[in-house]
Each structure stands twice: as C-alpha cells, then as structure tokens.
Amino acid sequence: MAWRLRLVPEKTNIDFFKLQFITFGVSALAVVVSLLAVAILGLNFGIDFKGGTTIRTESTQAVDIGVYRDAMSTLELGDVSITEVFDPSFRADQHVAMIRIQAQEGAEAVTPETIGVIEAALKAVDPAITFPSVESVGPKVSSELIWSALLAVAAGAAGIWVYVWIRFEWQFAVGTVAALIHDVVVTVGVFAIFGLKFDLTIVAALLTILGYSVNDTVVIFDRLRENLAKYKTMPLREMMNLTANETLSRTIMTATTTMLSLIALIVFGGDVIRGFVFAMLFGVIIGTYSTLYVAKNIVLFLGLDRSDKPKGGKPASHEFANIDA
C-alpha cells in the first residue's frame, strides 16, 4: 500500500457545535468590531479611490521599480504606485511602466510643475525614458469607483444567494450569504484596523474570497443534502457534525494548498501584489472558519423541513467523497 500524507485522520469525530455560542459570538463580535473600525478609523484608500495622476513611461532599458522609487522618494509625493506593464505586442526593447501618484493636498491632480520635477528625477536614473501620456483621476471619478466596488461585492453576494437558494433551500442560502458577509466585513475590518492600503486590487480579492468561501460551503451543503436523504431519523445537529467531519479532509486540504501558494506569493511576489495576496490569505483562513462555524450553524438555528425529503433511493456519489488529506 502506497504511503499517503494525511493532514487530518481518515475518520474524525469533532463536535463543531460544542462551543457554538462562543464561536458564533466571536464571529458576531468580529463583524461589529470591523464595522466600527471602518466607521471610526476609515479605510486607507489607494489612488484608485482617492484620485491622483497616472504617468505612463517607456524606455529602451529594462524597468527597475526599485530605482524608480528611490529616484522619487525625496519628492514627498505621498502614495506612489509603480508597476511594470507587459504586452505581447511590445517590441523587445520596449519597456513600459505605470506610475500612479495620489492627489496632492488642496489639488485634484498633480500640478504640471510637479510632473516636470518627477520626469527630471526619472531621467536622471534612466536617460532613455520617455513619458507618452499623463492622466489624472479626480475625486468625482474616485467616488464613483467606490460605489462601483460596493455594488460589485453586493451583486456577487446576491448572485450566490440566488444560486444556493435554487440549488438547495432558503435556509442554506441565508447561512451561505451570512458567512460570506462575515468573511468580507472582517477582512475589510482588518484593513481598517491596520491601516493597510485599500484599492481596486483588494476589491478583486474580496470577490475572489466570495467564490472561494461559497465553494467550500456548497461542498458541505451538498454532502448534507445527501445525508438528509440517507439518515432520515438522525437529529439535524448530529447529521451536520457527521457531514462536516466527512468533508473535513477536503476542506483542510483545499485551504492548506491554497495558503501554500499565497504564502509563496506574499514572500516573493513583491510590493505590487502584496496587498491583494494578504487579503486572499486572510480570506482563505476566515472563509474556512466561517464554513465550519458560521454557515451551517445558521442553518441549524433556522431548522430544516425534512418532511419532503426523497423516500428511499441511494444518494449519489459525491465527487469529493474519497479524497484523502
């Protein structure tokens, strides 16, 4: 028999409801604290949401983000984001970067004089550099982006709610969406508490967290639906514990492999994607927690009508039934 690595024992009997009021209370407290942090401390919005100026650069020399950043560090421009742009259509000697500078105090955009100083500083370290375009984003556009981001997250949660309701029952949909709201709000709260930069990449991370969390939750609910048909007289609480233990191997394995990739990215990925990766890493942790301790707990509180469950019939084999962790 081949040796296989297991992250959890083949069979577990963990009582996920043993401390249900403590775990659920911690989750509720975390949501409240996060909302208060956002309301009181606010978010450290990046250029996408605060407005600013974007300068596109081109050069025949390779882009060195560290050198560019050092050249601009003495100009006291505030939040500056520098990213290299890659495109298959670029020539071999065409190296492009985008430099985004936050709106300066008392002005909607960086003044032409300041742009001239920036260009001179960059030319000093790269004489071949050119500046094909300079664009500014004002506060009005930035406020529209904030609303668009909120609508995107809300639309994602609403779509998931409808999907789970159609596939399962309304109690499952309520539990799923409550867990998703918990994940998003707590993640945003962490950004508010620690003053981490919040920009459009973080919104993308939040939407990705929604997808990851609902995938984990649906796997458990799918197994729960099978068990509802299989164990018709088993109390709902015991059945949910059985279901969570049956799928625990898959849940832990998915979370662990995902986190290994994200840890590698957060260590070696550089500053450009670090905020996005941190949001994803925290989202995977909190999403796994909410799958086990929030979504199904709410379904238990709401209860299920088991009178119309299918009579007889062998439940379909689950695609994750025999996955080892």
Lookup: tokens for 262 = 């994200």
Q: What is the mean pLDDT of residues 254-269?
A: 85
Lookup: tokens for 117 = 């100083």
Provide the residue ranges of all domains of the chain, joining segments of one domain with +: 20-43+141-302, 52-137
Cα distances (angstroms) measured from residue 76 to each of 80, 98, 102, 119, 282: 10, 18, 11, 15, 32
CA distance 37 to 42: 7
Cα distances (angstroms) measured from residue 304 to each of 26, 256, 294: 25, 32, 16
CA distance 130 to 57: 6
Q: Which residues contact 267 (CB under 8 A, 6 or more apart)?
A: none
Nearest to 198 by CA among 140, 153, 264: 153
Pairing of strands 95-102, 197-198: unpaired
Nearest to 122 by CA among 103, 104, 95, 102: 95
Q: Per mean pLDDT, which range of 12-21, 232-241, 250-259, 272-281 is the poorest? A: 12-21
Q: E strands within the chain?
A: 44-45, 52-59, 80-85, 95-102, 130-137, 197-198
**CATH no., domain 20-43+141-302:** 1.20.1640.10
CA distance 2 to 19: 38
Q: What is the mean pLDDT of residues 118-138?
A: 82
CA distance 27 to 25: 5
Helix axes 170-194, 139-167, angle to 10 degrees: 150
Q: Provide the residue count of the chain.
A: 325
In single-letter form, the type of residue at position 244 comes to A
Work out the angle at residue 61's Cα, subtended by the Cα atoms of residues 55 and 67, and round it to the nearest 5 degrees.
65
CATH architecture designation of domain 52-137: 2-Layer Sandwich (3.30)
79: β partners? none
pTM of the model: 0.71
pLDDT at 319: 45
Computed from CA positions of residues 315, 317, 320, 325, in that sequence, does the dihedral angle turn out positive or negative? positive
Q: Is the pLDDT of residue 230 over 70?
A: yes
Q: Per mean pLDDT, which range of 107-116, 225-234, 300-309 is the poorest? A: 300-309
Q: Is the pLDDT of residue 35 over 90?
A: yes
pLDDT tens per residue, range 234-248: 788 888 888 888 888
Q: Is the pLDDT of residue 322 over 70?
A: no
Cβ burial, residue 74 (10 Å; 0-12/13-18/19+): exposed
CA distance 25 to 30: 8
pLDDT at 121: 86
